[in-house]
């Protein structure tokens, strides 16, 4: 029953819709949604497979580089072992020599075979031994430790620890080219001697490039927290790794997608702990082409999906337009016939069912016209049917309150209160009457005197004092030389500002609040400034900025600050955008709202 009801609901919806909507609904349900769902699934699955595939390849190449580096560094360590414990080498380093020629002769005699043996390892560019024996001279791979060498961090570290370590080192070749290389550094033990000797074994950068370089992947390698000593791009030598590495982690590993040199790349970083050393090598492998390839494949898939949606959609659109046009034409003809208008202007052409319906309709209309001609032969004039609707105007009688009647009524109430001894109520009614008189008298007027406006504010303040008691007080300050009786301003301009100061500015005040209205002339700006200041809670900078935005720009969604916004707009509409309202506030120190009016409105009334 549920399926049957659901089926009836679907077909009921189709029956209630127009033919154009029915065809578009079928297109959406039968083509658009299935293609979208299948396309999204296929694109997502393709993207995941391609990403996983390229990530696996990246990690495989990263592992290849780590394996090569482990092999080379292990071989270098074994060579350093042979050099460090070679008897001829240690004998030369401990020896005493009368001259440089004597030292050179000893080196050539005892360790030349060692030198030639070392150079048979193509992965080693060279080795250098530094010794602080004063009889050691600069000759071949042997160097005397001067102050510069002794001050280096690698020499100090090597002489202070027994184990080996690896370090990137900068070097300048005989042609003046600066380049970096990975060096094994270790102390050479000199038994029965007080001298220190340090072996520096430098790996060949060309050998590393031969073994590591890949056409598809970019690699950069660094040791510990140092700079890059090997990179596929020469510009990366001597710079930090392109990926942030947490050197405090025992084994850092990362694989993901990053922005490298302005391109989105797949990046893999791994750590290699070196043999018999605490040093760690960080291998960064980058594929800067795979993401573009994936994007290209995904874009192709999306284009295919788009075409699978758009092409049928275009065909459906044109067919729907053609079909609905013919159906609309048939409908218009039948509508004309139903309204007894048999002069058809539309013709449904074709050889399908619609054209056959139109032909039957023409036959039927012809029969009706013949019958009408017989029945209404004498009635050729159209009968005009005029349904005149009599419009009833209901005028709402707006009761207008005579201001004098209102004042007399308030005065009667005040006198009764005064007679009853309730002077506070009488005073309140008197103030209310004055306030209402000012509002009614200025309703629709463009300007009023500043003195009248200030008098109205004083009355408003007295009414508020009756309400809040000792919560606040007020003061008026007029700069010397300003005749407020001769100054013109907009009526009812200050009350919303003063009300804002009392209600919001002094909201947290129980006692001691004060509202000051100050009138002054700004000579430089040639304008009149009316400032309303309170010593209330003030505002945070963020709140102040939002209030300024609300006052400057109308926000229909907000109901707060609408009074201040209206005041600001009145001033700007009357005097121009150069004038208006400014707000300054400091938390716990109060708020100042100033109205700036042009000086040319100050003249004799």
pLDDT for position 384: 42
Confidence bin at 557 (pLDDT 50/70/90): low
Q: Is the pLDDT of residue 132 over 80?
A: yes
pLDDT for position 345: 58
Confidence bin at 346 (pLDDT 50/70/90): low
Which residues neighbour 603 within 8 Å (Cβ) at sequence distance 6 or greater?
486, 488
Report CA-CA distances (Å) from 599 to 494, 521, 571: 18, 8, 13
Largest Cα span, the chain: 152
Q: Is the pLDDT of residue 432 over 90?
A: no
Q: Is the pLDDT of residue 333 over 60?
A: yes
| Mean pLDDT, rounded, for 539-563 | 79
Confidence bin at 598 (pLDDT 50/70/90): confident
pLDDT for position 240: 93
pLDDT for position 562: 77
Q: Is the pLDDT of residue 497 over 80?
A: yes
For residue 489, with 0-12 CB atoms within 10 Å meaning exposed, 13-18 middle and 19 or more buried, which class applies?
A: buried
For the chain, what are the domain ranges? Answer: 208-291, 472-601
Q: Is the pLDDT of residue 604 over 50?
A: no
Encode pLDDT of 39-83 as tens digits. Answer: 899 999 998 999 999 999 999 999 999 999 999 999 999 989 988
pLDDT over 70, % of the chain: 75
- Give SS3 for 263: strand
Assigned architecture for domain 472-601: 2-Layer Sandwich (3.30)
Q: Is the pLDDT of residue 6 over 60?
A: no
| Mean pLDDT, rounded, for 247-253 | 92
Q: Is the pLDDT of residue 435 over 80?
A: no
pLDDT for position 218: 92
pLDDT for position 381: 40
| Mean pLDDT, rounded, for 367-378 | 66
pLDDT for position 76: 92
pLDDT for position 147: 92
- Residue 83 CA to residue 89 CA, distance in Å, equals 7
For residue 562, with 0-12 CB atoms within 10 Å meaning exposed, 13-18 middle and 19 or more buried, which class applies?
A: middle
Q: Say whether pTM exceeds 0.75.
A: no
pLDDT for position 605: 40
> What DSSP assignment string belongs to 65-117?
HHHHHHHHHHHHHHHHHHHHT-HHHHHHHH---SSHHHHHHHHHHHTHHHHHH
Angle between helices 562-575 and 541-552 (to 10 degrees): 50
pLDDT for position 459: 84
Encode pLDDT of 161-177 as tens digits. Answer: 989 999 999 887 667 77
CB 329 within 8 A of CB 350: no
Q: Which of 48-57, 356-365, 446-455, 543-552 has the highest mean pLDDT?
A: 48-57
Q: Is the pLDDT of residue 124 over 60?
A: yes
| Mean pLDDT, rounded, for 272-299 | 91
| Mean pLDDT, rounded, for 402-423 | 62
- Select from 318, 319, 320, 358 the least CA-distant residue to 336: 358
Least confident of 302-311, 317-326, 382-391: 382-391
Q: Is the pLDDT of residue 262 over 90?
A: no
| Mean pLDDT, rounded, for 190-196 | 88
pLDDT for position 417: 64
Confidence bin at 1 (pLDDT 50/70/90): very low
Residue with tokens 């970083």: 269
| Mean pLDDT, rounded, for 549-553 | 83
Q: Is the pLDDT of residue 302 over 70?
A: yes
For residue 348, give both structure tokens: 């449904």
Beta strands 165-172 and 448-449: pairing type? Answer: unpaired
What are 275's strand-pairing partners?
none
Q: Is the pLDDT of residue 229 over 50?
A: yes
Q: Is the pLDDT of residue 152 over 90?
A: yes
Q: Establish how many alpha carbons lie within 13 A of residue 55's alpha carbon, considering only the half-sphere containing its beta carbon.
A: 11
| Mean pLDDT, rounded, for 384-408 | 41
Task: Supply the mean pLDDT for the chain.
Answer: 80
pLDDT for position 279: 93
Which CATH superfamily hosts domain 208-291?
Answer: PAS domain (3.30.450.20)
Q: Is the pLDDT of residue 491 over 90?
A: no
pLDDT for position 186: 95
- Residue 236 CA to residue 238 CA, distance in Å, equals 6
Encode pLDDT of 319-328 as tens digits. Answer: 777 777 777 7
Confidence bin at 153 (pLDDT 50/70/90): very high
Least confident of 260-269, 353-362, 406-415, 501-510: 406-415
Confidence bin at 234 (pLDDT 50/70/90): confident
- Select from 514, 485, 480 the least CA-distant residue to 498: 514
Q: Is the pLDDT of residue 277 over 80?
A: yes
Confidence bin at 396 (pLDDT 50/70/90): very low
Residue 224 vs residue 367, higher pLDDT: 224
pLDDT for position 397: 30
pLDDT for position 220: 94
Report CA-CA distances (Å) from 32 to 7, 203, 302: 21, 62, 14
For residue 516, give both structure tokens: 């000051």
């Amino acid at each position: 029953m549920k399926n049957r009801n659901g089926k009836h609901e679907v077909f009921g919806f189709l029956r209630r819709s127009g033919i154009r909507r029915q065809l578009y609904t079928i297109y959406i349900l039968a083509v658009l949604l299935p293609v979208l769902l299948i396309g999204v699934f296929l694109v997502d699955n393709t993207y995941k497979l391609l990403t996983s595939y390229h990530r696996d390849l990246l990690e495989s190449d990263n592992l290849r580089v780590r394996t090569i580096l482990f092999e080379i560094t292990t071989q270098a360590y074994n060579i350093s072992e042979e050099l460090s414990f070679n008897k001829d080498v240690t004998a030369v380093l401990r020896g005493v020599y009368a001259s440089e020629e004597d030292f050179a002769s000893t080196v050539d005699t005892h360790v030349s075979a060692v030198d030639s043996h070392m150079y048979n390892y193509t992965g080693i560019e060279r080795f250098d031994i530094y010794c602080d024996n004063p009889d050691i001279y600069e000759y071949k791979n042997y160097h005397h430790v001067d102050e510069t060498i002794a001050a280096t961090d690698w020499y100090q570290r090597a002489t202070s620890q027994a184990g080996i370590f690896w370090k990137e080192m900068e070097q300048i070749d005989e042609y003046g080219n600066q380049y970096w290389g990975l060096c094994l550094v270790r102390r050479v033990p000199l038994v029965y001697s007080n001298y220190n000797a340090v072996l520096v074994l430098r790996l060949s950068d060309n050998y590393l490039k031969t073994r590591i370089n890949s056409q598809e992947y970019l690699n950069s390698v660094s040791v510990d927290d140092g700079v890059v000593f090997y990179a596929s791009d020469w510009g990366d030598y001597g710079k930090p790794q392109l990926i942030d590495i947490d050197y405090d982690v025992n084994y850092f590993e990362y694989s993901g997608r990053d922005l490298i040199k302005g391109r989105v790349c797949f990046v893999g970083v791994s750590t290699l702990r070196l043999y018999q050393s605490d040093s760690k090598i960080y291998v960064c492998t980058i594929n800067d082409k795979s993401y573009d390839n994936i994007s290209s494949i995904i874009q192709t898939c999306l284009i295919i999906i788009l075409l699978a949606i758009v092409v049928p959609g275009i065909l459906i659109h044109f067919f729907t337009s053609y079909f609905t046009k013919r159906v609309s034409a048939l409908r218009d003809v039948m509508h004309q016939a139903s309204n007894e208008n048999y002069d058809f202007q539309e013709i449904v052409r074709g050889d399908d069912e619609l054209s056959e319906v139109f032909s039957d309709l023409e036959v039927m209309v012809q029969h009706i016209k013949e019958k009408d001609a017989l029945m209404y032969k004498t009635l050729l004039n159209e009968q005009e049917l005029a349904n005149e609707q009599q419009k009833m105007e209901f005028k709402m009688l707006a009761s207008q309150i005579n201001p004098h009647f209102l004042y007399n009524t308030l005065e009667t109430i005040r006198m009764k209160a005064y007679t009853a001894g309730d002077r506070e109520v009488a005073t309140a009614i008197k103030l209310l009457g004055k306030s209402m008189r000012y509002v009614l008298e200025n309703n629709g007027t463009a300007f009023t005197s500043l003195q009248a406006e200030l008098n109205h504010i004083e009355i408003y303040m007295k009414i508020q004092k009756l309400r809040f008691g000792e919560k606040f007080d007020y003061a008026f300050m007029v700069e010397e030389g300003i005749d407020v009786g001769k100054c013109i301003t907009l009526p009812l301009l200050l009350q919303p500002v003063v009300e804002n100061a009392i209600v919001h500015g002094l909201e947290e005040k129980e006692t001691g609040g004060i509202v000051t209205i100050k009138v002054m002339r700004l000579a430089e700006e040639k304008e009149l400034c009316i400032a309303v200041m309170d010593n209330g809670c003030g505002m945070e900078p963020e709140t102040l900025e939002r209030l300024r935005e609300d006052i400057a720009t109308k926000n229909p969604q907000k109901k707060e600050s609408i009074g201040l916004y209206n005041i600001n707009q009145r001033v700007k509409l009357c005097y121009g955008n150069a004038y208006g309202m400014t707000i300054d506030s400091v938390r716990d120190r109060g708020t100042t709202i100033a109205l700036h009016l042009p000086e040319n409105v100050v003249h004799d009334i």
